[in-house]
Structure 1
């Protein structure tokens, strides 16, 4: 309903300043002022403003209606005043309108978005007489998650930046997310995993899961160093004494009292945090969300869980490829800091050593973790030898940047585990076998092959190491040698062969050398190698002088028995 009015001198309430346009908002301001200033208000006036509080309304009209109705209901329904009629049904309609706008494209306008968010959060506190109205807040989260609007992330960003600093809002957000994830999991188990059903617009399952991850990833974790917290509602934290009597309670920046969280509440917060994340990790995550979760889990989630669960990471570790590389960090933290056992860890880590890992986006972190995982002095000799040999074999096929990392890793393995120094120089003592059977092998109970065993298991010059074997114990690494590293002394890339030559004395003079920092080489690439070479000062430049101008690239004397010519085809 639109009407013209000449009441241009009407005083505008303070909360409407800056929210009107000169050409459109003036006719409606009189109705807003009448609703707020009159001591007797009929239901029709409220209904007229509700007609402007819809997702199809003009943004300015919607903002004015929301602000007016918010103040009206806060005073008449939850204040000391007595309403002229039953306001509860009209108030419920107003809340339904707010939830509809919150999940609509109208929230792309900042003023609309903030007006809706503030109104809902005010009534989250008022409807329970100061306590937190979880049902209303859950309806808000559910409306956003189930919506297909592209502006939902803007609304979630506003919610996170303005209200996730309150400890009670974080707590009830965990409850809402946990309930949503359980509902989605049941719906998927029943076979309905295409769309989310609801009264409003439908959203795809991946879109809803992505919003849930957005919410969880933007909630600040509860740290042990955090002492004082702000609360949005009353009753979540009890104040037994005032600030003068209890030094643990202090006034915040905006005048609101900050409260100390008890040990019981801390434990409860951790449990809700853990339940929300564990419920979320059960859902079928898209590739993009999956990778983001694996990146954030080690530092932002695992340290704050009440009881870390290894299932998600072990399943990710079994996927292979980049996903396994990204899961390694979280799995390593669970094993080293939380005492969780994973017997197949090193076997799966051994399987990750493929050429593609040297070109993965997260290769730098992977190589650093690989170096840490191989640092334990309790590592069996056969396992250290298998990793050294597998890495050496990969050095022949990976880019120069990968070869630099491999040299550093193998060097550290040889320094940490003297029992595998036999790989540097294996002496067969001239013994060979006349048949194809393998020589007798002496093995220790832990599977380590005796260092005194012969490497000449068959024909001289044949490497007995099986790089296709997935089990390090069966790879025959202890009976092989690191001839691949020696081959790198003739590598075509100068930094590679210079690096090999510089480490020749490290194994003989251990007191004067240290381990290599893998982090210095893990991020190398063709570009970084080229830039380093361009900065080097070359003192001597090799030159070639020819008495006559060369007519071919190779001369026949360089390749005895080969000719480089092209015979004429006879027709």
Structure 2
């Protein structure tokens, strides 16, 4: 029985030819008496063994048949609510049957669009047909149900959807109503994640493909609709519509060159449209960020969140929980979250008490080799710019950076010198860290004072006492009180230390570092004599950038190695006192050579 069924199915597929399919389409379009050709053409599209040109020809005929009838065909929900008395009407039965066939065709096209076997050219035609049905498929209005099914198929697809994403971006995402329903559908898909097993990767790719017009949050603009009837009319009440008409009458007295705020009498102000779009945009992003994001998606979101999402949210402060959790994770995740969190703090009034403590913890040697270190150091410089910053906090950051200069690459040394220079210029209260030649502390005095002025007087008294007295048994000299392992800036004792590490950079092995330190040795107590250093000029530095700068630099004097006589040894005897580099007897050398020759011959013969 199974063999007979397979044979009959194969025979049914092979009985159609391209000419017969064209004839079926022509008959269907010419008269309703050939309406039975409709399920035949749909079966050709459903058949996975159908050649692509067969599917294309059937699709063109079906699209030409359904497009003019879609405004007359009732929707699936309205047809199911008809009373039994109306069901006896032949016309209603006919259109209900057409609706079922249309729904079947739409589902077939959606399955075909995400299929691995669908060719590139055919996939584009299928997408255009789906979007044409979406345009007027709901009694002449935007058919959001078909569009939602299409997006769900894309999200659930395990195969590549790059072609569909490119086509949607280039052709359809420029329409405001398409974007509007895309946000709604993706929000629903995100809410039903466990039931539908949607792919977070595909949702993120869809959100990333939707363009955000820059004028959406600034000035009203004429929005282009995919469906001409509009989608925002039903959201405007009578009072709002009266205000719209009143505002339009005022606009009529202006010059023709002024930009209009309304597209027609029945279309609301574009500011209202922008508000609705931003609301849906906010909801879909908040829903997406609540999903369990994979690590790679998490990083991509944090990198672009501050420039692609926050400016277009209706209320950016809603991201505070997501960003604070990301900032508390530590490591590279915290570095990526810093940009968005800084915007919320400086522009939207977010209060984050432990912000500087978390920022201090991020200062590790690995940050100087991170991928996004350039943006991080620029933000670090901006966060430490406020003149209201406490002295102990500015000193802690300066001392921590100074200590890191001993273990970072040369490019990191340039960044550290620039950051410390800006800190000393902005906060004169920590200039005591620059020139503290002999930091001493009494062994028996264990008290620690918070007042920096009293502490400076105590240190100066100790220095005078040590210089006057030759008995140094009770005094320890050269002790650095800074605790590098302490995570709390308040407990690091940075105000009792000095920036002695920067002095070591004067003799750095990399010439650009030592040269840069010498160039910044100015009197920082008077701001008029100095200027802040632009961190962005050094924040993305590396070995390659330093090398490129050095080879482009014009050098007037070049050190040369000149020998009056040809050297016969690698080192001279004067370089190593007490050592001699004399060769042994020539006989021993001859014996060694004779010992090696047979071994070489044996290896050659064995080979």
TM-score by length of 2: 0.77
**Other-structure match for 1:17:** none
Q: Secondary structure at 2:363's aligned position in 1?
A: coil
State whether structure 2 residue 283 is matched by structure 1 residue 283.
no
Equivalent in 187, 191, 203 of residue 178 of structure 1: 187
Taking the TM superposition and a 5 Å limit, the aligned residue runs for 1:150-549 are 150=160, 152-184=161-193, 186-187=194-195, 208-221=199-212, 222-233=216-227, 234-238=229-233, 248=260, 261-308=269-316, 309-426=319-436, 428=438, 432-435=441-444, 438=446, 440-444=447-451, 450-452=455-457, 454=459, 459-507=476-524, 510-543=527-560, 549=567
Q: Secondary structure at 1:421's aligned position in 2?
A: helix
State whether structure 2 residue 112 is matched by structure 1 residue 101.
yes
**Aligned-partner Cα distance in 2 for 1:426–1:258:** 76
User: 2:481–2:497: 8 Å Cα contact kept in structure 1?
Assistant: yes
**CA apart distance, 1:39:** 4.0
**Other-structure match for 1:49:** 41
**Other-structure match for 1:66:** 59
**Aligned-partner Cα distance in 1 for 2:572–2:288:** 64
Q: Deviations over 1:206-250 (max 9, x none)?
A: xx1111111112223333234110112224244988x99967278
Taking the TM superposition and a 5 Å limit, the aligned residue runs for 1:3-18 are none
When residues 34 and 492 of structure 1 are mapped into structure 2, their CA distance, relative to the original with a 3 A threshold, is same
**CA apart distance, 1:2:** 5.5
Q: Secondary structure at 1:220's aligned position in 2?
A: coil
**Aligned-partner Cα distance in 2 for 1:102–1:121:** 12
**Aligned-partner Cα distance in 2 for 1:269–1:344:** 35
CA root-mean-square deviation: 3.3
**CA apart distance, 1:31:** 1.9
State whether structure 2 residue 151 is matched by structure 1 residue 141.
yes
**Aligned-partner Cα distance in 2 for 1:530–1:495:** 10
Q: Secondary structure at 1:326's aligned position in 2?
A: helix
User: 1:396–1:484: 8 Å Cα contact kept in structure 2?
Assistant: yes
**Aligned-partner Cα distance in 2 for 1:448–1:158:** 68
User: 1:227–1:261: 8 Å Cα contact kept in structure 2?
Assistant: no
Moved more, 394-403 or 30-39: 30-39
When residues 461 and 498 of structure 1 are mapped into structure 2, their CA distance, relative to the original with a 3 A threshold, is same
**CA apart distance, 1:52:** 1.9
**CA apart distance, 1:169:** 1.5
**Aligned-partner Cα distance in 2 for 1:484–1:67:** 76
**Aligned-partner Cα distance in 1 for 2:574–2:18:** 93
Q: Secondary structure at 2:425's aligned position in 1?
A: helix
**Aligned-partner Cα distance in 2 for 1:258–1:519:** 51
Taking the TM superposition and a 5 Å limit, the aligned residue runs for 1:73-112 are 73-76=66-69, 78-79=71-72, 85=94, 86-107=97-118, 109-112=119-122
User: 1:77–1:87: 8 Å Cα contact kept in structure 2?
Assistant: no
**Aligned-partner Cα distance in 2 for 1:550–1:410:** 49
**Aligned-partner Cα distance in 2 for 1:563–1:419:** 54
**Aligned-partner Cα distance in 2 for 1:75–1:383:** 72
Q: Secondary structure at 1:507's aligned position in 2?
A: coil
**CA apart distance, 1:67:** 2.1
User: 1:405–1:521: 8 Å Cα contact kept in structure 2?
Assistant: yes
When residues 550 and 349 of structure 1 are mapped into structure 2, their CA distance, relative to the original with a 3 A threshold, is farther
**CA apart distance, 1:161:** 2.2
Moved more, 505-514 or 450-459: 450-459
When residues 382 and 563 of structure 1 are mapped into structure 2, their CA distance, relative to the original with a 3 A threshold, is farther
User: 1:230–1:258: 8 Å Cα contact kept in structure 2?
Assistant: no
**Other-structure match for 1:37:** 30
When residues 425 and 512 of structure 1 are mapped into structure 2, their CA distance, relative to the original with a 3 A threshold, is closer
Q: Deviations over 1:307-360 (max 9, x none)?
A: 222111112112222221111101100100111111111111111111111111
Q: Deviations over 1:271-297 (max 9, x none)?
A: 211110011001111222112111111
Aligned residues: 516
Q: Secondary structure at 2:159's aligned position in 1?
A: coil
**Aligned-partner Cα distance in 2 for 1:564–1:260:** 96
The unaligned stretches of length 5 or more in structure 1 are 6-23, 188-195, 198-204, 566-571
**Aligned-partner Cα distance in 2 for 1:166–1:53:** 29
Instruction: Name which one, 1 or 2, has greater alpha-carbon Rg.
Output: 2
